[in-house]
Every structure is written in structure tokens, then in C-alpha cells.
Amino acid sequence: MAGETASNDEKISAGANLRDVLLQIADSLDESRGDQGKYDRIEILQQLLGRNVCERLGIYRFPEGFLLSVVVPVYNEVDSVEEVVHRVRATGIPCEIILVDDGSTDGTRELLESWRDQADLVVQFHAQNAGKGASLATGFRHAKGDIVVVQDADLEYDPADFWTLLLPIVKGQADVVFGSRFTGRSQRASYFLHYLGNRIITLLSNIKTNLNLSDIETCYKAFRRDVIAEVAPKLRERRFGIEPELTARLAKIRGLRIFEVPISYEGRTYAQGKKIGWRDGLRALWCILRY
């Protein structure tokens, strides 16, 4: 028994979240049955905890044949992009990862070039830096998944939150889901002026769109593919103005169901490579008025 307990403990890493721990425990139960037959680990957890609890923990099934498109704009992220790809794969969600290099000059381009033969990666290159909005537009054009989600390449956002982000769409409750950094999950304390600017931009956007969002500047936005396929050809903003433009264009689609869920966030400092600045805030305000 002691040997079995030690073996199970080794499987549950110190950094695992509750969802991973429960699934690993279910796997351990399955192994302990030997030849007595296989458990369905999701089914057994739903019986023990209830379907609603499991869904809140991200324990649920995707439809058969489901594919997630993860669009990753990349600019000078040679130190983090490999870890981002690893974390996306570690979610266990069937996905294609669309990496759009936006004219990197720090070795990122060469790294991505070496990955072109990996089956789950779609690698695209811009000849010169065009901005996040331009990179997203490129990524959206190549997306083939049932749901499309945006993932930054700088480790500020944790792909483990995909399970929370995608659930309202998978359940048929939403067409678009925003992941909010300001509704309950843990986050690293970030720059106050960034926080204040974000709240002002979100408030003004809500006034213009008649939505009630808490974080329009979030990276984490998930879309049914037919929705983003309708919006993407209309996008004009090439830099960080893409966030208010996307929000405004989505708000104009009659009957569109937009949800918001809490996510975790670990903001970078400028020393660590944060790129957004006060000029982008001014552009965001202009975009709210324009779109």
C-alpha cells in the first residue's frame, strides 16, 4: 500500500491544478482495477461530484471530432513561445496551434521555421512587423477548428483556463466568450495606470456597445468559428486597437450571445518585454468612437 501511495503521489505534481489532480486520481483508480474493466474517468467523477461541479472544474467532454484553433501572434518571444506551445498541448484539448510570426528579429522566426513539420502546428510569417491585429487576421484566416481562441505568446495567460473559457460555447450557451482578469481569479499585481486605463476603456466601450463586460482588453477571447469567419474580413486595426474593434463588431451582430468567465493572469513588466503603451490606450479610445 505504501508503495502504491508513493507512486500515485509522484503522478500528482506540486503544480497541478485541482482538475488535473482529480483526473489523475481517477486514472489511479482505473489502474487499481487491473483486468476488471476500464473506468470512464469523466463519468465516474461526474457521479461522485455531480455534473455541475465537474463542469466548473473543467471536467467535461468535447463533441466527437472536435478541434480547437489556437491563434498565437508572436513577436520577439524566443524565450517563451516554446513553453506556450507546451502548455497548450498539455491541456489535452484536440487543437491546431496557429503561430503567426510578426517580423521577429530575436531568433523567434528561425525557431518557428524549424517547427514547420510538426503536425499540430500551422506556422505563418509576416515579412515585417505589422502588429497584433494584423497577426490575428492572418491566424483567423487559417483557422479550421470548431472554436477559435486567441493565446498570447508571452506567458501572461495560462492555457489551463481554456477548459473554463470554452465551456459556455461547448454547452451551446454562448457564441463568444471573453476571459476576464477582473472577476475573481488570482493574478499578479500589475501597473495601476494600466488597470485604470483598462477600466476606463472598458466602461466607454460598454456605453457604446450596450454590453456589460469587465475586461474588453483581455487576450482570451473564444469564438465559434462561423462567428469569427463573419467578423475577420471586416477587421481594420493592425495593432492593439484590435481589442475594442473586435468587441464593437461582435456587439453589432444581432442575437449574438456573449459570455464572460474568470481567468488567471500574470502580467509582465516592461523589463520582461511588455509591449503595450499609452499610445495604444489613446488608439483604443479612438477605436471605440470609430467602430
pLDDT tens column, 251-275: 999 999 999 999 999 875 545 445 5
pTM for the predicted model, two decimal places? 0.86
Give the Cα separation of 77 and 73 in Å (integer): 10
What is the arithmetic mean of pLDDT over 183-198?
Answer: 71
Q: Catalogue the E-assigned strands of 139-240.
A: 147-150, 176-180, 221-224
Give the cell for residue 16.
497541478
What average pLDDT does the structure give for the chain? 87
Give the cell for residue 278.
499609452
Give the Cα separation of 43 and 62 in Å (integer): 13
pLDDT-above-70 percentage for the chain: 85
Going by pLDDT thresholds of 50, 70 and 90, the confidence category of residue 7 is very low
Give the Cα separation of 231 and 30 in Å (integer): 45
Give the cell for residue 217.
482588453
Give the Cα separation of 251 and 101 in Å (integer): 29
What is the arithmetic mean of pLDDT over 65-87?
Answer: 97
Q: Answer yes or no: is pLDDT of 5 > 90.
A: no
Among 193, 173, 198, 197, smallest CA distance to 257 is for 173
CB atoms within 10 A of CB 156: 20
Residue 269 has what pLDDT?
A: 54
Do residues 183 and 262 make contact, with C-beta atoms less than 8 angstroms apart? yes
Residues 132, 134, 137, 141, Cα dihedral to 10°: -120
Domains and CATH numbers, the chain: 2-56 (no CATH), 68-290 (3.90.550.10)
Give the Cα separation of 97 and 143 in Å (integer): 9
What are the φ/ψ torsions at residue 203 (nearest 5 degrees)?
-60, -50
CB-based burial label for 73 (10 Å; 0-12, 13-18, 19+): buried
Residue recorded with cell 473554463? 164
Going by pLDDT thresholds of 50, 70 and 90, the confidence category of residue 4 is very low
Going by pLDDT thresholds of 50, 70 and 90, the confidence category of residue 278 is low
Residue 262 has what pLDDT?
A: 95
**For strand 147-150 and strand 221-224, is the pairing parallel, antiparallel, or unpaired?**
antiparallel
- Determine which of 5-9, 57-61, 83-87, 148-152 has the lowest per-residue pLDDT on average: 5-9
Going by pLDDT thresholds of 50, 70 and 90, the confidence category of residue 220 is very high
pLDDT tens column, 84-103: 999 999 999 999 999 999 99
- Determine which of 40-44, 91-95, 237-241 has the lowest per-residue pLDDT on average: 40-44
